Amino acid sequence: MPERTPEVIDPFIAQLFAHQHDSSHYESALAQMKAADIPEINVSASEGMTLHVIARAVTAKRILEIGTLGGYSALWLASALPPDGKLITLELDPKHAGVATRNLHNAGLSDRTEVRVGPALESLAAMEKDGVAEFDITFIDANKDSYVDYLDYAIKFTRVGGIILSDNTLTHNALDPTADTGITRFNAKLAHTKGLISAIIPTLREGIDGLTISVVVHK
């Protein structure tokens, strides 16, 4: 029997449920990213499935993602939306945004997705100024130094009863009580934010990392 290591468990989960999804879109998105030399820092397939299931569980109609990369996690989230749903995803790097836009198009999801290029803090400030409608889910997965600032926007933009997801919350020295990183600051801030109830789902890509799930109970 194979050992229960992260390297074995992650693909086991992904393969067990793969037939429930249109796997060809996810595989070709990863191939496009590789061809474009985009770093392989996307969520794993099993974490993508987790995002998809959470989006369906709250019957999400509006999702905000901060940190698009090649659109891999965006595919998992947007494919959980109804036809009139909307995912807005924010990305700094125009090359990443271009690959993501193509991947979402190829999956037939152009009608419900929008990739906004630029520093996310600028895009978020513009959305606030424009009075953006609330989201059911906000997924934070960009530069870790700005996670604490992204959290402020996530709280403002996510509806009560909605969910804030944050990726990579068990790496970046998360467990070192003396460390001062974007993630240690984020975890400390999140733990002390009134109105949010949080848990961490361990994830298994290249060792153990974490996906934090926070319910907005009140603002």
* Residue ranges in contact with ligand SAH by CB under 6 A: 41-43, 67-69, 72-73, 90-93, 96, 119-120, 141-143, 146
Q: Which does 25 bind (CB under 5 to 8 A by kind): Mg ion, ligand SAH, none?
A: none
Residue from the set 141, 150, 186, 210 that interacts with Mg ion by CB under 5 A: 141
Nearer to ligand SAH, 78 or 190 (CB): 78
Q: How far is CA 14 from CA 21, 48, 57, 127, 214, in A?
A: 10, 9, 19, 35, 24
- Does residue 165 contact residue 186 with C-beta atoms inside 8 Å? no
Report residue 89 as tokens.
């995803």
Q: Which does 193 bind (CB under 5 to 8 A by kind): Mg ion, ligand SAH, none?
A: none
Question: CB atoms < 10 A from the CB of 58, how many?
Answer: 16
Q: Does 89 bind Mg ion (CB under 5 A)?
A: no
Using CB under 5 A as the binding rule, the residues of this chain from 31 to 60 that contact Mg ion are none
Query: In which residue are the tokens 């009608």 written?
Result: 111
Q: Which stretch binds Mg ion (CB under 5 A): 13-21, 50-58, 105-113, 134-142?
A: 134-142
Bridge partner list, 166: 140, 212
Q: Which does 210 bind (CB under 5 to 8 A by kind): Mg ion, ligand SAH, none?
A: none
> Smallest distance from the beta carbon of 148 to ligand SAH, in angstroms?
13
Q: Which does 163 bind (CB under 5 to 8 A by kind): Mg ion, ligand SAH, none?
A: none
Q: Which does 69 bind (CB under 5 to 8 A by kind): Mg ion, ligand SAH, none?
A: ligand SAH
* Of 135, 136, 144, residue with least CA distance to 167: 144
Cα 35 versus chain centre, distance: 22
**Helical ranges in the chain per DSSP H:** 6-17, 23-35, 45-57, 72-78, 94-106, 120-129, 147-157, 182-191
Nearer to ligand SAH, 160 or 165 (CB): 165
- Does residue 172 contact residue 183 with C-beta atoms inside 8 Å? yes
Q: Which does 168 bind (CB under 5 to 8 A by kind): ligand SAH, Mg ion, none?
A: Mg ion
Q: Cα–Cα distance between 175 and 57 in angstroms, integer?
A: 30
Q: Does 167 bind Mg ion (CB under 5 A)?
A: yes
> Smallest distance from the beta carbon of 57 to Mg ion, in angstroms?
20
Residues found near Mg ion in the complex (CB under 5 A): 141, 167-168
